[in-house]
Structure 1
Amino acid sequence: MKRQQNRTGLNSTRARSRVFHVQQQRTGRRRWVRALALAVVGAAVLTTAGVPATPVPTPVLQLASTEDPVPPTGITVTGQDTALLVRWTASGETGTNGYRVVVGGVDRGTTTATSLTVTGLVNGTDYAVTVATRTRGGFFGLTQYEGRPSAPVSGYPRDGVAPAAPTGVVAVRGERQVQLSWAANSEADLVGYRVLRDGTVVTGTLTGRSYTDTGLTNDVTYRYTVQAVDVSRQWSASSSPAVAATPTDLTPPAAPTGLTAVRGDGRVALSWTANTESDLGSYRLLRDGVEVATVTGTSVTDAGLTNDTTYRYSLVAVDTHGNRSPASSPAVAATPTDLTPPTVPTGLAAARGDGRVDLSWTPNTEPDLAGYRVFRDGALLTTVPAGTTSLADTGLTNDTTYRYAIAAVDTHGNASATSAPAVPGTPTDLTAPAGPTGLVATRGDGEVALSWTASPEPDVASYRLLRDGVVVATVTGTSVTDTGLTNDTAYRYTLVAVDGHGNASPPSPPVDATPTDLTPPPAPTDVAATAGERSATVTWAPSAAGDVVAHRVLRDGVVVATSTGSSATVTGLEPAPVSFTVVAVDGHGNVSPVSATVTVTPVDTTAPAVPTGITGRAGDTAATVGWQPVADTDVAGYRVLQDGDVVATVTGTSTTVSGLVNGTSYRFTVVAFDGSGNASAASVAVVVVPAVGTVPPLGSGETGGLAASRDGRFVVVGTRAQLEPADTNSAYELYLLDRTAGTAVRVAPLAVTATGATDPTNTAAPAVSDDGRYVALATTAALLPADTNRLSDVYRLDLATRTWVLVSVPAGGRVSATVAGTVLQTGSSVHATSPTVAMSADGDLVAYYSARADLGPRDTNGAVDVYATRVSTGAVTRVSTTATGTDLPRTATGPALALTPDGRFAVFPATSSSGPLVLYRKTLSGAGAGEAVVVSTVVAAGRTTEVAVYRDAGDVAVSDDGRYVALVTAAKPTAPGSSWSTGLAYRKDVVTGALSPVGSGQTAAWEHQVGLDPTGRYGFFSTTAAVTPGDANGHTDVVRRDLETGTLTLVTADADGRTTTGPAGAVAPAEYGRVLPVSGDLVLLTTSQALLPADANRLRDLYAKDLSTGAVLSPVR
C-alpha cells in the first residue's frame, strides 16, 4: 500500500482493492465484487504532533457490483433550442447513486435523476449521447464506480420553428428536362432546399436556388414543389401551388428553301419547298424582317402592299413545339405593280367628214392613265397620250363604214378592254350640189304647178321648194304643185337640191307665178308610144283647144317631159314596160285630164359601169366586201366573186362572206348587172385574210405541243383558256380547233376542279390527221383499263367516236408492265417535255420511239428504235432498220421525228459510240421501200462526210414528197471536219445531195426549230440573231427563207411588218415555240413574240401568219 500523508498529518493508508468471490445471497448468483480493505495500523490515528486524535469509527464495508454498472436503458434524446433533453430508464444497479451524461464526446455532468437537459449546443448539429451508471461501494461507500456508457443515441438541437415555404418557384421546360428556380428564403438558420416532382422528393438538400431535373419524357406534364430546411432539420411546407412544366423538343427545323415571290397588283404571291420535318407546324412569313403571316401550307399571298415598292421576304419554319428555324436566306425581293387595267373608255362618238371621221370620247379619270389606243375595224390605228379626247382619222374612203373602238392604257402598260359596241363612222361627201335649173312655175286655179330640170349630179336625193323664202315642199321628182293659193296673188318660188348626204345647194334663180282660174283643156287623144334605146317617144294628136300651149308627158303621174308639139321623148328609162299619159296645158297653166295610157318597153343593150371603191374587211372566218354604187340607174344588183367564183348576189353595196378559213387569203371582185342581164366587167380585186385579232390572256402552246392538218384548218394546241362552254376549270388542256367552222373541242377533258399544267395527256406533244378526226399523243395516264403500267404509252383518239386506241403495243398485244411503250430521250440541247409522235395525213399510221423489244420481229438490240403502227390493222413496223430488217449501225435517238403526209418517208436521228449523231430518211412504202439513207451529209473536196445533227423535237422537217429534209448542224459545209460554235439550219436535197443554208449566213446564234413548206421551197427556222433589218429585240424570232430567191422574211413581225419588242427577260426555252408551215405564205406558229396589239400576256401564243399580206390572227379566241 502506498502511504499518503493526510491533511492532519497522519499517515493514511489508501485502500487496496482486493477481489473477493462473494456469493450474492439474494439471487444466489455469483458476482465478483471489489472490496476495499483498509488496514488500520494501531487503534487510533495520530496527529502530526503525536497527540492521539478521535478514534476512527469501525469501517463498514459496502459492496458494489464487481462488473461495470450496466448502462441505463430507454435513452431518448429530444431536441430543444440549443439544448437536448436526455431521458432514460434507471439501470436498477445496486448502489446506483447517479448517471454521467456525455454529449458529443463532452462530459455534460452527472445527475441522480433519469433525465438531464444539456444546454449550450448548436442547433442542427448531430450529437452522440451516451449515459453511464454510477454506483458507490467500499467502506463507508466512499468508493465511486462508473459503468460503461450506453450505446450512443443521436440527437440534434432544434429551435422548433420550421422555415417558411419557398416562393417564386419558376419551371422552364427544356428538351427532356425542366429547369427550376425559386426565391431565397430569409431565415438566418436556413440550410437548403429540396425539390419534389409530383409529390416525390427527387433531390438531396440543395444549397442553391436552382435545379435542373433531367431524364424526363418530352410532352409529359410534371408538377413541382420546393421545401426549405433549416439547421434544425426542420422542413417547411411545400411551395404552393405546384408549378407545372412539360419538357419539349427544342430542336428547331431547318431553314425553309425554295422561296419564290411573284409580284401582283398590290400583292406578292409567295411559295416555297415544303420542309421535311415530321413535326413541322407552320411557317412564319417575314416582310422586311417583320412577321406578317403564319401559314401551314407552302404558299401565301401578301396583300395590301404599295405598288412599285420593293419588299424583301424571308421565311421561318416553326415546329409543333414552337421551335423556330433560322430565316431563309437570302431574302427574296419582289416589287408589286399595278396590274389593274383602266376602265373601258366611254362616250366614244364618231362624226363623219369628207374622207375623214372625227372621233371624240369621255376622258378616263385614272391618275396613272398613259393614253388611249384607237382601233379601226379591229386593227390598231394609233395611240394618243392621256389628256387627248379626240382624233381625226383622215384619208378614208367616203361612203365606206368604219367601226371604231378605243382602249385605255395606264403607265404600267395595263390596257382596258376595247369600248363596245364599236362605233360606226361613214365618211361622206360634204360638197353641196349645184343650184337647180329650169325651175318653171305654172299657175293654176288657186295653185301653182312647178317643175324643173333634173340635177345631173347622181347623188341628188330630193328638192326643196321655197315659196317666198319658206320651204313648202320636199320632192324627189322634178315637179310639184303648190296648192291652196290665192288666185291673182303673185308668188316667188326658188328651188334647192339636196344630195344623199344632206348637203343643200344654193337656191335656184327665183320664178314668179300668179295663180288664176283656168278651165283645163280636153285630154289629148291618139296618144301612142314608140320604144327607143332606154327611151320612149310619146306622140299625141294636137289639142283642139285654142289656149293649149304645151303638153306634158307623165309617167306614173309624174311629168317626165314637156312638149309644145305633139311628141316628146323620155330618156333614162329601164328596159321594162313603162306607161305614159299626156296632158295639155293652156296659157294659164290649166292642165287637161290625162289621156289614155300607152305602154311601151324600152330596149337596153348597154352594160352598167364597173363598180369602184372596192373595200374588204377581215372578220372571224368571214370577210365583208363593200363598193361604191354604180351610177347607172338600171342596175339591178351586184355579184361578189371569191377567187373567181360567185359567192353572193346582192342589191346593196356591201355583203359579208362567211364560212372562210381564218388566216387564208381570199381575192374578191364585184360585178354590176342590170335588169336586162347586162353585166359589167369585174372590179379590181381586194384581198382579205379572215382573222381573229385577240389572244387568250393565259396564252396557248405553253408546253410546246402543236399539230395541224396540212391545210391548216385543224390545229391541236394546249391552252388554259376555256374555249368550250363545258370547260370551267383552270387547267391547261389540249384543244382541237376547226379554223373553218370556228369550233373548239377538248381532246382529253379534265375535271372542273383541275388546275395547272401537270396532266400528262394534256401536256403531251400531239399529232393530228388532215380531216381533224384523229389525234395521237404519248401519255402516262391510263386512258384504257388495259393500260396498267403507269408508263408512257402512245394513244390515238377518234374524235368522232371519242374512242382511245393503244398504239405502242404489239399487234393484238397489251402494255408492258415494266417497259414504257414510248420514251423521251433527254439531253443538253433537248427541250421537249413529252415523247414525240408523228402521224400520216389519214391518221392511220403513227410513228414513235420505243425501247420495247416485243413490238416487232427481230428486235434484239436492247435499245430504243423507231416504230410505226398501222392502227387499222394493228401491224407494227420497226422503222430503224436496214433494208433487210437488221439493226442499223446506230441507235435511234430522239425526240426529233418527222413523217411525210402519205406515210412513205420517216426522218429520225441515230447515234453510235464511234460516230456522230446523224439523220436518217427511211422509206416505208413505194419505190425503194426499206431503204435507210443518212441524209446529214456534206460533200466537200469530192468526199462525202456524215455530220452530226441536233435532235430536239422540231429540229427536223421533211417536204411532202420526202425530197427535202430540214436539219440543224454545227458542221461547216465547206469543211465538215470543223464546226461552228452553234447549230445552223440547212435544207438537204436528197435527190441531188445539195445542202443549202436556210439561215442568213451568221454563225454565232443558234438556228433551230426548223420547218419546210409542203413543196420544200421555203425553209423556216427560229433564232435570236437579227437576220432581218430592224430586228433588235434579242429574242427568238421565226424567219422564212425563199430557197429559190434567197429572200429572208421575218415571220414574227406584226401585221404591218414591224418587229415586236419581244418577251421580257433573258432568252429562255419557254419562248422557243414551234413552227408549222401550211404553205409558203401561211404559217402556224407558237411564239412569245406579241404579233397582235392585243397580245399583252407575255406568254407563248398560237398565231396564223399570212406572209403574202402580213395578216396575223390568233386561232385561239
Structure 2
Amino acid sequence: MHAAYAVMRWPLHAFFWSAIAFSANAQAIWANGTQRGVELLWVPPREGTLPERYVIMRAAASSNRWSAVGSVMRSTSNDSLIAHLVAEAALLDSSHRERFNEHLERMLLANPRALSRALGTYFHDTTTTPLAEYDYQIWSGSTLVATLYSVTSHQRTLPLPPSWIRVRQRAECIELWWQTDSARIFGIAGYALYRARNGGSPIRLIERPISIVGLEQDTLTSAFFRDCTPGASGTIRYYVAALDVFGNEGRPSSVECVRRSQIPSPPSVDRAEIGNPLELHVRGDRTAARPLLRPSDAFEWRLPQWQWQDSILLIALPERRADAIAVTITSGTDSLLSWISIPAVMPLFDTTAPERPAFAELQHDGVHVRIRWSVAMAQDIAGYLLERQMQSDTTLHFITGTSYADMNTENARYRVFAVDAHGNISQPSPPIAGSARATAAPELLSVASSRGGTVLAWRVPPRTARVAINRYDDSLATPLTIALLPGTARRYVDRTPGAQRAAYQIVALDSNGNWSRPSERRSAHTAPPHCKPPALDSAVYRDGVVVLYWTATHQGEFLLERSSSGSEEVFVLARLTSDTQHFVDDTLERGGQYTYRLRCIGSSESESTSCTITIPP
C-alpha cells in the first residue's frame, strides 16, 4: 500500500512498499492497486469546513502533466453523523480544531470503508494501464488537499508485518505487545490475531480484527492484548497480522511462549530513586532479569549499562534532551523474552555535568576581540556561559553558538562553561586574556578526498601542545571546531557527511594557552594547476639520514610522503615547490623499509612517483 502526508516528496526507495512524504499541515492519503486499477483514500482538510466535492488529478509518474480523472461528492443523505461532523467543523475555532481533526481521523481509521464513502474521501480509478506508475493530487476547489507519488496500478501491496512483537505469561493470562509507531502514516486500520497450540494449525483468536483505535495507548507501551482463554500447559505460538484501510491483510509476525501451570513471581519495580544512576528496587524472580529504556524523544527500546547491587538495579541514564524516560524489566534472552513488565514512566533528571569546552581561537582586528571555543561533546548541550572579568567587574553571557565578539581591551579575561538541557554546568575552561597574542601559524599541507573520508595533513610550529581543526561548511559561515588533537598529531580523517565539500583551517596551541594564527584555508575541491610529479632519481642512506634527489620538469607544488612496510599510515614530510631538487629525511628509524612518494597537490596516489629504500639495523 502507498501512503503519503502531502506535499513534500521523498524518494521511493525510502520504504520499498510505499511512497512517504511529510508536511507540517499535511493530510494523510493512502493508495493501493486493485484488479481494476487504483483505489485512493484520504483524510479531509484540517482547516475550514468539510468539502462537498473533491476533484482527483492524475499524471504519469514524474511527468508533471496533470489531468482530471474524476470527482467524488460528500453524502447528502439524512446521515446524522455526517450532518453532525459538517456542522461541528463549521463552528470550531482554531483552538478546538486540532481536537476535532484527531477525533475525525480516529473515526475514519475505525471504519474506513463506510466513513470515507460518506465523507467523499474515497475514489477508485479504473482508467489506468496495468503496472503503470502514476502521481495523484486531490483538490477541493482551489485548495490542494493531498499529493501522492509513484502508485503502481493493478498491483496490490500488502501491509508489512508488525515489528517488535513480545509475549509473557502473567498469572493465567498470556500478554502480547507489538509496535504501533507510524501505524497511521502507513494506513494500518487494525490487526488480526491467530493462535496455534503445540505445533498445530493457527486459528483466529478473536472473530473480528482489533481496530487500531482501540489498541493505541501511550507510544511508550505500544499495542497490548491479553489472552486469558483457559488451556493446558504447553507451547503456544501467536501470529499478528496488520490490516490496512482497504481491508488487505499482510503477512503475520509470530512469537512463541511456553504456557506453565505455575510460574515464579515475575520481576517488577517496587520503587525507584531518580538520579544518575537510576536506582530501581526490584522484587520477584531476578533470574536473567535486565532493564530496557526508552527516552521520550526516542522511538526504540534500548539496553542500557546496568549492574545489580543486592536487590537494587543501578541503571546508567543516557545524555538526552528528553524530559521523561520509560523503564521496563525483562526476563529471558534476546531471541525469546519470557517476561516484560508494564513500563514505568518517570521524569528524567540528568545530574551529570558536560565536559568543559576549550578555546580554539582568538583574533584581534583593532576594534574587537573575537574568541571561539570548541563544541562540548554531549548530545544535550543547550548553550554556553561566557564569563567576562575586567578588574572587579564580572559579567555572564549565555550564548547558544561557539563564538563571542567583545570590544578590544587588554584587561579582560574570559572563561567558558558548557550548559546542558537539564541545567548542569561544566567546569570552566582555562582562562584566556584579551591581551594574548597568537604564535606562528601552522601549515596545512594537503586536504584530499579518499574512500574513508577527507584526509588532512599538516606541519606545526615547535612546542605545539594541541591542534584544533576548524571546518567551514560555507564560505560565509562561522567555522566549527571538529577536533582538538595532541600536538604530535600530523594527520586527521574527517568522515562526517559533507566533508568532501568543506574547507579546513588548522590552529596550534602551546602549553601556555596561546594559539597561533590560523593556517591557510584549504579544501579537497581546490583545483590544482596542471602538474606532473617529478621522478625520484635516487635515495641514498648515509650517516643516519636518507637524502632524496629528483629533477622537476613541470611547475607546481608537490607533497613528499613517506610510509613504512607493515603500516598503512602515511606521513607528509614536506610541501615543496618545483624549485626544490632534494630533501633530507632525518626522522626515520633504523632497520626498516620505507617508501617515499612525490605527488602534486590535490592529485591521487596513482598520479605519483615513488621509490623504496631499506635501512640497515
What is the TM-score with the length of structure 2 in the denominator?
0.24
Return the structure number with greater helix share.
Answer: 2
More relative contact order in 1 or in 2 (CA 8 Å, sep 6+)?
2
TM-score (norm 1): 0.14
Task: Please identify the structure whose Cα radius of gyration is greater.
Answer: 1
